[in-house]
Amino acid sequence: MEDGARKPKQDAANLDMIVTPWEVKGVIDYDRLIKDFGTQPIDEAILSRMKNLAGGLHFMLRRGFFFSHRDFDLILERCEKGAPWALYTGRGPSGQTTLGHVSPWIFTKYLQDVFNIDLYFQLTDDEKFLYQRELSLQDVEKLTYENALDVLAIGFDPKKTHLISDIRMSRDMRELSLEVAKRVTFSTVRAVFGFTNETNIGMIYHPAVQAAPCFLPSRIAKMDVPTLIPCAIDQDPYWRIARDVAPRMGYHKPSGVYCKFFPGLGEGGKMSSSEPETAIYTTDDPNVARRKVMNAYTGGRPTIEEQRRLGANPDVCTVFWSLYFLFEPDDEKIQDLRESCKAGEILCGECKTNLAEKVVTFLEEHQKRREQAKKIVESTFI
Amino acid sequence: MEDGARKPKQDAANLDMIVTPWEVKGVIDYDRLIKDFGTQPIDEAILSRMKNLAGGLHFMLRRGFFFSHRDFDLILERCEKGAPWALYTGRGPSGQTTLGHVSPWIFTKYLQDVFNIDLYFQLTDDEKFLYQRELSLQDVEKLTYENALDVLAIGFDPKKTHLISDIRMSRDMRELSLEVAKRVTFSTVRAVFGFTNETNIGMIYHPAVQAAPCFLPSRIAKMDVPTLIPCAIDQDPYWRIARDVAPRMGYHKPSGVYCKFFPGLGEGGKMSSSEPETAIYTTDDPNVARRKVMNAYTGGRPTIEEQRRLGANPDVCTVFWSLYFLFEPDDEKIQDLRESCKAGEILCGECKTNLAEKVVTFLEEHQKRREQAKKIVESTFI
């Protein structure tokens, strides 16, 4: 296994931080995560190469929403040379899609648009079925369909986008997952994921299924097509397994580009589909979403007078971070907002109304595209 | 888990006997196996019900080749009532088919003919790939095809026979194996199969794949269709897992009817596809098979004179057992042979020639049917 390929441990200094593929809790220390997981920070050299290639930098890179990587430079090198590569990302269909899920997909679509390449999108319905006692196969299959509509509504090129359902599993996926599974022992998945003797045997096999799409583009094309995986950093343990077996299977190690956790609308914590009051779902009625935004936790003061006098704190404000990471790509506007907030020139109500309008516009558009996606969704699965 | 659902242990009295799905070694004590595995002996009551239903008893039942069972009586009860049930058996395609594999299939065909029911036949190509380091996916896929030809050459009704390749895995099989896997922990498969931390995660998942066909007939028919599994007793650990989860999945526990290990042509031990000199393959040139029979280990005496005087020992003779368990269904003839042997009236050469003729006739017929099976084999897979 690679350096850093170990389960993040809790210690006295960080008792509150838990980051696994199934649980993200506490105040997240991203520098610490980079160290624990053994990934690389996205540095100036990477940003500069990306800027040259893309003719500019996406605001999610400029603002450090995507903050860490593994071998992203090898993918940039392929871009510079015109060598093929592919995008791979996914979603565990445990509920309706939230803005937290959507945010890295928007960056993924940007990469697809800029580099004009194929995207393999895995819906890990097997994992959700196996992990969540209360979910039936029928439940997760329904959610796979619902989530797939959201993926397509993002606007990915349907001709270059290939959805994977782990339950429907294609022959290629089955063979690749067997090739991975043959090379991974219980010791390894226990060390990487913290599995125990009580873990069910489906969960134990699943890392092979999640690793398989890393190699699918090469298998389909019958040539080297390494993958870049844009996703939240909690998924990195899976890519350690994939990177570990890749050379033994005759493939390139997959590269990753990792984002932070998109904030929920409550105090602290990521947007979670299991907390409906502080999460905005793509299927929310726009008026419901507006109400959630208007109830969001902000960095405001107890009274208007105090806020005018002392200013507010954008750094702890879920409205500010939603704009910063997703809804306000204009750097000048976001900088102005930040300063007005700190100076007490703008009040929370105004800021919430601003975000709510953007959210409502997004949802109206998204829901229209979501309806249209129903016509093509089945043919997009491989 | 059921009583007796534990890994058979070695003790001082039976140091030589090892019986697992991957290894059969030493002198087999079948009474001990019944006790260790927690199965039932096939008793007079079972034989009498079977005789009434089938209008006679197959010689493999009369002679105790099939000697043990789990809930075979429940299947007989369904036969008596005219309630539906199905046959399930299989083969791990690690090499060409031998007479050892064929012998329980002949009994399975008899059951299919007598009761006119469907057979689900699983080729566990995933397991063989995962277990045997040197086998590639391509190798096992080729062997799956080769073994499937042998299955069909036995003469199963192609309209009522459904081949399953674990690698090609259908949607129904995938979903059933996930349903099983969700209900089985690493602790359980460790206890039942002796898995360790170094076992690969594919092998750990495989028991769910082998359990799945127990429930496939019910799933396909959307009604209760319990299964009866005719197989060698070393496969029982898999059915313990399946029986354990069945009620929690809303299905009947599968029943089993278990045979002994078919003897090889060498001194002691079962016929093994990895020991070519003492195994007869269905693909052997008849003249090669004849030579193997003529070299078989017998219960003969060092000299003709001694044998004429003292008689020979059929109980240790691989030629006698091959006739007894497979090639001489006529009870009178086999009894005569046994007596002539013990009395020294017949010599080993004559007996070998007799078996060789039967083997050659079987192979010639089988190889013809095997050729014909090529036309239908692909359409028999589900």
Domain ranges of chain B: 12-262, 276-373
Q: Which of B182, B241, B244 to mutate to test the interface with A (most CBs of A within 10 A)?
A: B182
As a whole-number percent, the residues of chain A with pLDDT over 70 amount to 96
Beta-strand relationship, A119-123 and A86-91: parallel
Identify the contact set of chain B against chain A, taking CB-CB distances under 8 A: 126, 129-130, 137, 167-169, 171, 174-175, 178-179, 181-187, 189-190, 195-202, 204-205, 207-208
How far CA B191 is from CA of A165, B187, B196, B310, in Å, comes to: 32, 6, 10, 49
Q: Tell me: pLDDT of B6 over 50.
A: no
Contact B186 A199 (CB under 8 A): yes
Query: Tokens standing for A295?
Result: 């109830």
pLDDT given at position B2: 54
* Mean pLDDT of all residues belonging to chain A: 94
**Which of A23-37, A56-70, B137-151 is the least confident region?**
A23-37
pLDDT given at position B308: 96
> Chain B: nearest CA to A241, how far in angstroms?
12
pLDDT given at position B59: 98
Cα A279 from Cα B83, distance rounded (Å): 53
Q: Tell me: pLDDT of B318 over 60.
A: yes
Q: Tell me: pLDDT of A8 over 80.
A: no
**pLDDT band at B123, cuts 50/70/90?**
very high
Q: Taking each helix axis from N to C terminus, what angle separates B137-153 and A171-181, rounded to the nearest 10 degrees? A: 120
Positive/negative CA dihedral, A292, A298, A303, A309:
negative
Task: Specify the CATH number of the domain B276-373.
Answer: 1.10.240.10
Contact A171 B175 (CB under 8 A): no
Contact B187 A168 (CB under 8 A): no
**pLDDT band at B1, cuts 50/70/90?**
low
Which whole number is the average pLDDT over A294-323? 96
pLDDT given at position A228: 98
pLDDT given at position B10: 42
Which whole number is the average pLDDT over B103-107? 98
From B138, which residue of chain A is nearest by alpha-carbon distance? A175
Q: Tell me: pLDDT of B7 over 60.
A: no
> Chain B: nearest CA to A168, how far in angstroms?
6
Contact A174 B169 (CB under 8 A): yes
> Chain B: nearest CA to A98, how far in angstroms?
27
Cα B113 from Cα B108, distance rounded (Å): 9
pLDDT given at position B214: 98
**Which of A5-14, A338-347, A360-369, B169-178 is the least confident region?**
A5-14
Query: Tokens standing for B345?
Result: 């009236």
Q: For domain A12-262, give the fold.
A: Rossmann fold (3.40.50)
From B174, which residue of chain A is nearest by alpha-carbon distance? A167
Q: Residue A71 phi/psi, 5° resolution?
A: 55, 30
- Report pLDDT digits (tens) over A171-216: 999 999 999 999 999 999 999 999 999 999 999 999 999 999 999 9
Q: Tell me: pLDDT of A74 over 80.
A: yes
- Report pLDDT digits (tens) over B329-351: 999 999 999 999 999 999 999 99
Candidates B44, B53, B18; CA nearest to B33 is B18
pLDDT given at position A1: 52
Q: In chain B, what residues touch A139 (CB-CB under 8 Å)?
A: none
ipTM value: 0.93
> Chain B: nearest CA to A198, how far in angstroms?
5
Which whole number is the average pLDDT over B343-361? 97
Q: In chain A, what residues touch B138 (CB-CB under 8 Å)?
A: none
pLDDT given at position B23: 83
- Report pLDDT digits (tens) over A225-277: 999 999 999 999 999 999 999 999 999 999 999 999 999 999 988 998 888 99
**Kind and range of the H or E element at A349?**
helix A348-373
**pLDDT band at B269, cuts 50/70/90?**
confident
- Report pLDDT digits (tens) over B190-206: 999 999 999 999 999 99
As a whole-number percent, the residues of chain B with pLDDT over 70 amount to 96
Which whole number is the average pLDDT over B109-131? 98
Maximum distance among all Cα pairs of chain B, rounded to whole angstroms? 67
* Mean pLDDT of all residues belonging to chain B: 94
Which whole number is the average pLDDT over B122-141? 97
- Report pLDDT digits (tens) over B55-86: 999 999 999 999 999 999 999 999 999 999 99
- Enumerate the H helices of chain B as residue ranges: 30-37, 44-54, 59-62, 72-81, 99-115, 125-131, 137-153, 171-181, 186-193, 201-211, 216-221, 236-249, 286-294, 304-310, 318-322, 331-342, 348-373, 377-380
What secondary structure does DSSP assign to A275-293, as a single string? -TTS--BTTS-HHHHHHHH
Q: Tell me: pLDDT of B266 over 60.
A: yes
pLDDT given at position A5: 42
Identify the contact set of chain A against chain B, taking CB-CB distances under 8 A: 126, 129-130, 137, 167-169, 171, 174-175, 178-179, 181-187, 189-190, 195-202, 204-205, 207-208
Q: Residue A70 phi/psi, 5° resolution?
A: -130, 120
Q: Give burial (CB, 10 Å; 0-12/13-18/19+) of A150.
A: buried
Contact B178 A204 (CB under 8 A): no
Q: In chain B, what residues touch A174 (CB-CB under 8 Å)?
A: 167-169
Contact B197 A184 (CB under 8 A): no
- CATH architecture for segment(s) A286-373: Orthogonal Bundle (1.10)
Contact B129 A182 (CB under 8 A): yes
Positive/negative CA dihedral, A293, A299, A303, A308:
negative
Contact B178 A129 (CB under 8 A): yes
> Chain B: nearest CA to A222, how far in angstroms?
16
Q: In chain A, what residues touch B197 (CB-CB under 8 Å)?
A: 185-187, 190
**pLDDT band at B5, cuts 50/70/90?**
very low
pLDDT given at position A273: 82
